[in-house]
Amino acid sequence: MKAFLKHLLSAWTWRMAWRDSRTHRGRLLLFSSSIVLGVAALAAIGSLGKNLERAVKEQAKTLLGADLALSSRQPFSSAEEQLLTSLGGRQARETSFSSMIYFPSGGGTRLVQARAVGGPFPFYGRLETEPAAAAEQFRLGQGALVEENLLIQFGAKVGDDIRLGKLTLPVIGVLKKVPGESAALAVVAPRVYLPMSGLARTGLLNGGGLARYRVFFQFPQGADAGKIVAANQPRLDHFRLGVETVETRQRELGRAMDNLYHFLNLSGLVALLLGGIGVASAIHVHVKQKLGTVAILRCLGGSVGQTFAIYAGQGIALGLAGALGGSALGVAVQAAVPGAVADFIPFTFQFQTSWPAVGRAAGVGFGLCLLFALLPLLEVRRVSPLAALRHACESAKVRRDPLRWLAGGCLAAAVAAFALGQGRDWRIGLGFCGGLAAAFAVLAGTAKALVFLVRRFLSPTLPFTFRQGLANLHRPNNRTMLLLLSLGLGVFLIVTIQMLQHTLATELMVSGGTNQPNAVLFDIQPDQKKAAAALVRSMHLPVLDELPIVTMRLSSIKGRRIESLLADKQSHIPSWVLRREYRSTYTDHLRDAEKVIAGRWIGQAASSNGPAPISVEKDIARDLKAGLGDEIVFDVQGAPVTGRVASLREVNWRRMQPNFFVLFPPGVLESAPHMNVLVTRVSSGAQSALLQRAVVRDFPNVSVIDLTLVLQTLDAILGKVTFVIQFMALFTVLTGTLVLAGTLVSGHFQRVQESVLLRTLGASRRQIHRILAVEYLSLGLLAAATGSLLALAAVWALAAFVFHVHFVPMAAPLLCALVATPALTAGLGLLMSRGMLSQPPLVTLRNEEG
């Protein structure tokens, strides 16, 4: 090792490496282009990822509006207040409750969500109001902020008075956007913000009305809200306080965010591995061609270390050139990205080159490339000087080389370390490595099986060109293993990325796409139901859903009264779950966003007077400690209604549609007082205004809730995620295609000599082309088929176990791989041989010798 390092640092070694590369520099440059793109992809992905991560993180912070929010269904007790004080930081308070609003000017009333705010909330982001100055006036306690649709509905305007309970205060602005406001809350009722100083004067909570009490925290820079929560977890649990941090809010945004990170990480790794495969196969071919030179050098007295250092030097130079070129390209690409794609990015963010990400890409790219190159390079050490006398020695059976195993182990460990370092979850990194190793094993097994089958069963009756082409698959110096591995892995990775993108994008489209409802007609009385639907249809708007809503409270669970459960400190049922008002519906079918995970959905109540078969959302069932078959008694506005849990449901809360904790079958709640909800989608703000005017005109008591504002926020996030996925996949696919091309072209040189010899023996160009085409097409087709099957398995596994989304198979990438890979393989192979075969054989023979 010491001798090798000494030689590696010798000037002559580098001079010799430079001289030796003379006739291959163009080809080496081609090989390094695969690394360049791989590193560039990694640098760009790393930098863009960091930028997006930062942007998304910032947005998540403004969505909470604070570092931490703690909530309770009861006013904070003195013990709880002590805990809140002990947490430190700046605090702001909010008390929210449902109430009727009264517009003295027009006399209209409406159920609203009232939010009394005290303190400097929000700490992050800002209250967006019209006029903008209204936010500051609100902080000073000068009046209320009201949602625009509420003002429209009642013909009110800024400056008018509103009354909440006993409090009358002026509307000082229109509420546009509130950090920290959950989109789902706006579905239930419009929001009205009033100063905390006015809360007591409303008199609404004096009798202990249902409210949610929240306190927002802003901690000093550098403090970790998660750690603060963890440190106080026992006390928070003891007081049953709801906890929201930026992290939990991010989770609320849905798994899409996590999916983005995993995808980014995976894309970077895939690009790098593709580059590495390109390097390994290129160096393998390069070394094969250099074995003669190595033997001569050994004959002339060159030591093992000296000769190995020459080619290791070439590998290092190639890796360095690739890493530096890749970094430069990566920086150029990432600097150009925001400008080039500005129109497609649904948000603005300050793009900064992340130098650590670029340096990391260059370092990791160089290191991994060197390890990939080392595997074939080690063969140089084993070249016998006797090969200069006898060429047969070159193909002598290679003994097991412990250094090769060591290099292979280092490579596997490096890839594993990289994968583990990329993923948030070490199991995902490990799974990725395991999957890759399995893919490697399957492809190697396929190659071995192909060699065996062709050798064993190749029919002598086949036409010469077919026989020759297929025989090339098993003859000495065949490239079956090499090409199947490189092409197959390439196809596997590219198809996996494409299908994964499709699967994730489909999930996102379902969650936030253009077909989602964005307007809800609320408070429709039973006798208005048909007319309201007819009105919506007359405006050429779809009636996406119609649901009755019955409000109820829990009375008893499994025979135990709620009061008893609330008093029982051992019940471990969160009090808010027991206290809350449940807005339930009855329906004979489940909706897209719902899935029964236990028990059986029963869409019709039995005619007898027994308990109604109800379906309960799985998380609330867990909180209530209720399982299948358990009885729950509800207090439906005074009347007890008994339900038996017949099924547990999983609900996709990300869907912008009314979702429910408890579903009743028809035949139970029809006679209970209820209102109806109608869900539709308006295509523009103007259409929304028209609908609102028409509804107010025909059904004054009905409210139209425009979800556009809510959806705009979510759509922006989801659009951003989708864009990033497409961008990354495009980058990876492009990189992969170029690397594959390089791999193919490098492998081609081995066939030239044989083709020229056949030409010398009288084979026509057409025959040579056919032979090459048969070989390349078979390899391309088999690699594509094996890679595609592996990709199907991988995407299924990733969808099921990593991203937790439904696997959406996609025919296009599979068909594309099955057609394009053989075509690309054969096309490139034939293109390369075109020049060679158009010259007289002697010219090529001399060049090959030389």
Partner 1 sequence: MTKIRSQMNPSHVTAGPAILEVKHLTKEYASGGAILTVVKDITFSIPAGSTRAIVGPSGSGKTTLLGLCAGLDQPTSGEVRLDGIHLGALDEDGRAGVRNESVGFVFQSFQLIPTLTALENVMVPLELRGEAGAAAKARELLERVGLDGRFSHYPAQLSGGEQQRVGLARAFINRPKVLFADEPTGNLDAETGRLVIENLFALNAAFGTALMIVTHDAELAGRAERVIRLKGGAVVAGA
- Which positions lie near partner 1, rule CB under 8 A? 3, 10, 12, 16, 19-24, 292-293, 295-306, 384-386, 388-390, 846-847, 849-850
Q: Closer to partner 1 at the Cβ: 295 or 333?
A: 295
CB of 743 to partner 1, least distance (A): 23
Length of the chain: 850
Q: Closer to partner 1 at the Cβ: 230 or 403?
A: 403
CB of 18 to partner 1, least distance (A): 10
Q: Closer to partner 1 at the Cβ: 637 or 847?
A: 847
CB of 451 to partner 1, least distance (A): 21
Mapped onto helix, strand or coil, the DSSP state of residue 471 is helix
Burial per residue of 516-549, b for 16 or more beta-carbon CB atoms within 10 angstroms, e otherwise: bbbbbbbbbeeebbeebbebbeeeebeebebbbb
Q: Closer to partner 1 at the Cβ: 289 or 652?
A: 289
Rounded Cα distance, 396 and 286, in Å? 18
Q: Closer to partner 1 at the Cβ: 20 or 53?
A: 20
CB atoms within 10 A of CB 257: 20
Mapped onto helix, strand or coil, the DSSP state of residue 161 is strand
The H-assigned helical ranges of 300-345 are 304-340
Mapped onto helix, strand or coil, the DSSP state of residue 147 is strand
Which of 366, 362, 299, 372 is closest to 42 using CA atoms? 362
Q: Closer to partner 1 at the Cβ: 3 or 340?
A: 3
Q: Closer to partner 1 at the Cβ: 13 or 47?
A: 13
8 Å CB contact between 274 and 89: no
Which of 45, 33, 48 is closest to 324 using CA atoms? 33
Q: Closer to partner 1 at the Cβ: 300 or 342?
A: 300
User: What residues have CB less than 8 Å from 434, skipping those under 6 apart?
Assistant: none
CB of 281 to partner 1, least distance (A): 21
CB of 458 to partner 1, least distance (A): 24
CB of 370 to partner 1, least distance (A): 23
Q: Closer to partner 1 at the Cβ: 55 or 304?
A: 304
Burial per residue of 42-64, b for 16 or more beta-carbon CB atoms within 10 angstroms, e otherwise: bbbbbbbbbbbeebbeebbbbbb
Indicate the helix (H) or strand (E) that contains 510: helix 480-512
* Sole residue written with tokens 């069932």: 621
Q: Closer to partner 1 at the Cβ: 382 or 591?
A: 382
Rounded Cα distance, 716 and 247, in Å? 19
Question: Hey, what amino acid is at 710?
Answer: V
Phi, psi torsion values for 261, nearest 5 degrees? -60, -45
CB of 471 to partner 1, least distance (A): 23
Distances (CA, A) of 90 to 57, 72, 119, 229, 590: 21, 19, 9, 16, 45
Question: Hey, what amino acid is at 15?
Answer: R
CB of 844 to partner 1, least distance (A): 11
What does the angle CA 837 – CA 280 – CA 755 come to, to the nearest 5 degrees?
A: 15
CB of 19 to partner 1, least distance (A): 6
CB of 839 to partner 1, least distance (A): 14
Q: Closer to partner 1 at the Cβ: 55 or 386?
A: 386
Rounded Cα distance, 743 and 572, in Å? 62
Q: Closer to partner 1 at the Cβ: 234 or 301?
A: 301
Which of 577, 92, 23 is closest to 314 using CA atoms? 23
CB of 16 to partner 1, least distance (A): 7
Q: Closer to partner 1 at the Cβ: 20 or 545?
A: 20
CB of 307 to partner 1, least distance (A): 9
Q: Closer to partner 1 at the Cβ: 296 or 324?
A: 296
Q: What is the DSSP string of 676-722?
A: EEEEE--SSHHHHHHHHHHHHHH-TT-EEEETHHHHHHHHHHHHHHH
Q: Closer to partner 1 at the Cβ: 4 or 261?
A: 4
CB of 315 to partner 1, least distance (A): 16
Phi, psi torsion values for 544, nearest 5 degrees? -80, -30
CB of 15 to partner 1, least distance (A): 8
Q: Is 103 exposed, middle or buried (0-12, 13-18, 19+ CB in 10 A)?
A: buried
CB of 829 to partner 1, least distance (A): 24
8 Å CB contact between 746 and 281: yes
8 Å CB contact between 166 and 202: yes
Rounded Cα distance, 199 and 88, in Å? 25
